[in-house]
Amino acid sequence: MKIGFIGLGRMGAGMARNLLGSGHQLAVYNRTREKTEALAREGARVADSPVEAARGSEATFTMLADDHAVSEVVFGRDGLASIPDPAPVHISSSTISIAFARRLAEEHGRRGQPFITACVFGRPEAAENKKLVVVAAGEPETVDRCYPLFDAIGRAAFVAGPAPWHANVFKLCGNFMIASLLETFGEGFAATRKAGLDHHRFLDVMNELFQSPVYRNYGATIADQKFEPAGFALKLGLKDVRQVLELALELGAPMPIASLVRDHLVSAMSHGQEAQDWSSVSKVLARSAGLDDEATAKTASA
Ligand code: NAP
């Protein structure tokens, strides 16, 4: 297929590379042009604007930071929404708010432009290695047509429902589950360390119990205090927890743990951790247990 891809950040670069590797023809756009260079060498066409990346494609992905970035790329100057007929399917993979996902569906609908979502679970390494878990949603025939693209970027794909925002609900609630895991690791590690015990050994026990790669990977990152370079920036993690709380409010489904994690992420931001991995929220728990950052780093490297 002819594919457009907009947004070559930590996640988008790997996803685009795998689409290219699966034999699709790719046109890419990124606000910071240097990030297109590697893919250009591998055979992608580099476009000067979002609409140019989408022109002539059957489907165009967006994989961008947040609502604001997607809004600029879709509705801004030479944006995706300005494409003449026939418009490609816009596949939105960014983790955006429910309200904005609905707005995208409405605006594309008004213009007769097909629109679905394909949110992804997995870190940049998973994006690079075709190991993402894809959660799609939207008009079933359009989702079916795009299925080969999900196979090209991930190891499994699921359909959340017939409206594009349905996938965003799964994605935000899924990220809430991961954020809760970061919080409990922070608390458990702080307590085991205050007891004078080896938190790496505690992690071995937990891995035996939980048997999950998500648990294993985040557990190791936190135990080793390897928060840079970030796989998922804390600032973006806070965006997701805020968005899940907006959803909780709309649905009348309280999420008290999400409120707690949000406050701990805010505290982490105040300590200058916005560009670190979001698992560094665990430092907030270490600090409140009287374990300062220096002691935390020493224990981790011991
Ligand atoms: P990232 O590395 O920070 O990349 C963000 C991308 O958005 C870059 O291409 C950036 O362009 C672009 N962008 C930001 N603001 C823009 C604007 N105003 N106009 C145009 N482009 C703009 O982020 P990421 O980690 O790849 O995450 C991308 C999305 O995937 C986010 O919604 C995130 O929540 C979600 N996600 C992340 C992970 C993860 O583990 N990292 C996993 C699943 C989902 P520049 O290069 O010019 O800055």
User: Is 194 known to be catalytic?
Assistant: no
Predicted local confidence at residue 104, as pLDDT: 98
Tell me, letter by letter, the H, E, C secondary structure of the chain.
CEEEEECCCHHHHHHHHHHHHCCCEEEEECCCHHHHHHHHHCCCEECCCHHHHHCCCCEEEECCCCHHHHHHHHHCCCCHHHCCCCCCEEEECCCCCHHHHHHHHHHHHHCCCCEEEEEEECCHHHHHCCCEEEEEECCHHHHHHHHHHHHHHEEEEEEEECCCHHHHHHHHHHHHHHHHHHHHHHHHHHHHHHCCCCHHHHHHHHHHHHCCHHHHHHHHHHHHCCCCCCCCEHHHHHHHHHHHHHHHHHHCCCCHHHHHHHHHHHHHHHCCCCCCEHHHHHHHHHHHCCCCHHHHHHHHHC
- Summarised one tens digit per residue, pLDDT across range 5-30 is 999 999 999 999 999 999 999 999 99
Give the total number of structural domains in the chain: 2
Q: Clarify whether residues 149 and 193 are in a common domain.
A: no
Quote the pTM value: 0.95
Q: Clarify whether residues 128 and 193 are in a common domain.
A: no
Q: Clarify whether residues 156 and 181 are in a common domain.
A: no
Ligand 1 geometric centre to CA of 175 (Å): 16
Within the chain, which residues score under 70 in pLDDT? 293-302
Ligand 1 geometric centre to CA of 11 (Å): 7
117: containing domain = 2-162
Q: Clarify whether residues 69 and 123 are in a common domain.
A: yes
Predicted local confidence at residue 259, as pLDDT: 98
Q: Clarify whether residues 134 and 244 are in a common domain.
A: no
Instruction: Tell which one of 33, 64, 104 to mutate to probe ligand 1, the residue whose CB is within 8 A of the most ligand atoms.
Output: 64
Q: Clarify whether residues 174 and 144 are in a common domain.
A: no
Q: Clarify whether residues 35 and 131 are in a common domain.
A: yes
Predicted local confidence at residue 292, as pLDDT: 73
| Residue owning the nearest CA to atom 16 of ligand 1 | 69
The tokens of 103 are what?
A: 């707005």
